[in-house]
Chain A
Amino acid sequence: MARPLAPRIETLLWTAQRASAAALGLCVAVHLVTIVLAVRGGLSAAEILARTRGGITWLLFYGLFVVAVAIHAPIGLRSILRETTAWRGRSLDLACGLFALALVVFGWRAVGGLFR
């Protein structure tokens, strides 16, 4: 099996997860309020796009939201997989890295699509 990551890297991963958690604390709170208000009277594409198209603040906020999530979720998933399955080592680290990359790419793609 491949060598485990150095304690320093593990510690930095933990720090990154907690830092992104703090950012997400704010992002998710805003997101929840938006959801609860937006669903009032039903959702329509025109309504959503009117809110999102050309809104720079909106773009920056959700762009950052995506990054925070892409840091936060894969590190958490890695812990869960290591503790509940036999999957460990480099291949797991790589898979979680790819998951993070995919979240950024598809998250930004979605945000960009709603902005344009």
Chain B
Amino acid sequence: MKAGHIALAWRGRSHANYLAFLVHRLSGLALALFLPLHFWALGRAIEGEAALDGFLRWADRPLVKFAEAGLVVLLAIHLAGGLRVLAIEFLPWRNWQKTAVAASAGFALAVGVLFLLNAAG
């Protein structure tokens, strides 16, 4: 398909709830792939305090901290987006859809900023 056709096909998806779906899916995928890594890192605690500390020292670089903030934002956005989905599916319908999407995004961003501020402080 030509680029113009693809751009045209995406125009129909340019609404808040589709974007929210996309973000929820991508954040979920990233978190699922991150989980084994997370468990592996924590599993090092079995090998003793020194091994865990070695890992934590490695993780204390600015770039890694920034990546961690990204993960925290992903978790926050998947949480907020997930609550939004549960509300759509299990609560009576409300015409607040765009507000819910915006609130989820705002919440995730706030958690990310809070994390970075605390990590730096």
Contact = CB atoms under 8 A, between A and B. Distances in A.
Interface residues of B, number: 39
A102 B111 CA distance: 29
Nearest to A40: B118
A110 B37 CA distance: 11
Contact of B32 (A39, A77, A107): A77
User: What DSSP secondary structure best describes chain B's contact surface?
Assistant: helix
B32 A73 contact: yes
A109 B43 contact: yes
B29 interface: yes
Contacts of B121: 40-41
Among A48, A109, A113, A114, max chain B CB count under 10 A is at A113
Contacts of B56: 43-45
Interface stretch (B3-11, B12-20, B46-54, B96-104): B46-54
Interface residues of A, number: 39
Contact of A102 (B36, B38, B46): B36
Contacts of B39: 103, 106-107, 109-110
B75 A18 contact: no
B67 interface: no
Interface in B86-101: 86, 89-90
Given A40-B118, A42-B60, A35 B79 contact: no
- The 5 nearest A-B residue pairs measured at CB: A113-B46, A110-B42, A45-B52, A45-B53, A106-B39
Interface of A: 18, 21-22, 24-25, 28-29, 31-32, 35-37, 39-46, 48-49, 69, 73-74, 76-77, 80, 102-103, 106-107, 109-114, 116
13 contacts: A21-B86, A24-B79, A25-B83, A32-B75, A36-B118, A37-B118, A41-B121, A43-B60, A49-B52, A80-B28, A113-B43, A113-B45, A114-B45
